[in-house]
Structure 1
Amino acid sequence: MNNALIPADLDRDITLIAERYCKAGGVGIQVLNLLGGQAENLLERLPDPVKDRLEEATTKALNVALKAASRSRGVLPDQGLWLNTVAATAMGAAGGAGGLPTALAELPVTTTVLLRAIQGIAKEYGFDPNDPEIQAECLQVFAAAGPLSDDDGADMGFLSARVTLTGAAVQSIIARIAPRLSAALGQKLAAQAVPIIGAVAGAATNYAYTSYYQEMAHVHFGLMRAGQQHGVARAQLVLRLSDAVKLAKR
């Protein structure tokens, strides 16, 4: 991309967003060090019946989270990022303490906390979380690869998609998100099922996932706001961000 076409202040914004993107990708390292394994091996630890129903469980968790997050906005104000992280970490510890049964039960609760955190970040950037289009954008953040993934920016395609949440379209959006999110959450469940240290692993993975998706929400809505402020198309911004991420990783 020709950087001469990018205003200097927008270029600075893109650089800061790229730093957040890179930061998000590094939060899983501590979890892998704790578990002493590789992310790609975690899913193999899950029993076959759980793996077979993982996408279905993720779809249900997303539906529950969307309804619960929307209802709770009128009752509970947005919390600070640290409080979201503390709450999710505590739930991860509780979920991991009982192995897979409690970890599966905890899944929709954690997903709801994550979605509320994403909605709060959207509001921070000047967007209305009650707007159906912004609700769709919040869901889209879950399309990013999970914190235990290392795909060198290949998941940036989620930033290019623009979706609108109207009627039955929500199920179409969730159906597109669920396969990728289920793979990420499957790694989380496998970590929580580690013998003896399940509670510690659950807390660590939830900390990593909450930190990751909050950072990716900053990337997502930071890019949206930059596009609106400078009148630059989203596709052009994503390309520029991709270049900035590559530079930051050198």
Structure 2
Amino acid sequence: MPHDLSPASTPLDTSPSPPRFPARAPGTIETALTILAYFALQAGFGGAFGGTSQFIARTFPNAVPDQPDRLIVVVILTLLCAAGVVVTWIVRRWAAKTVDGGAGGLGFTAPSGRYVAIGTALGILAPLLGGLLTQFLAGDHDVSQTVTDIADRAHVGMRVALLPVVVVVGPLVEELLFRGALLSVLRTRLGDNWAIAISAIVFGAVHLPDLDWLWYAVPNLILVGVFCAWLRVRSGSIWPGFVAHAANNALAAAGWFMAT
């Protein structure tokens, strides 16, 4: 007796599916906590590495470099560790938004050569204009940063070792924080113009401790923040702002060697 043949059933796919990340933009509270965490991590790692440096110096006084050079090592390790933790967290937390160049994304998109050139020009212009502005506001007062004070007293080789951290690592993590996550939050809630202004002010204000709380040095950093945020909005990419930030820091770091 013939039997009807039932159609062959499709085998079940039991292979593990790739992880799916929520396509969500950075949130206000998360972004604020992430920025605070970056500076808290700097304090924590700085204290740990600084204490270790002092212990080694007391235990083996003839086997370690002088204090300015040891401080350079502490600064390098501190910034590398803090930046590594924060960048990893942001990229994993908002993975689906990293390559989004829109208002709610982090902007890890390929920039056009035009905006890279503009970013380079603004990065060179920012310290010139900012220096004049700071000089006008500060009058006869001296303005310096903690890293600059340390570098000025260190050996040339240690200054060279510090350069990649100041010119590449620092701008990268700060662009990701302020022109990536923070600007994204502000753009989706307040629009581009307010987002540029507020993110630049926050960027300048958080550097006050490193400036020994000298307020008249902050407008210079606000100007850098405006340039970088404008580049992020207009180009749809975080990289032109990074180029501007790196060029600004490179010109500032050049003073370490001129002082020698």
When normalised by structure 1's length, the TM-score is 0.31
TM-score by length of 2: 0.30
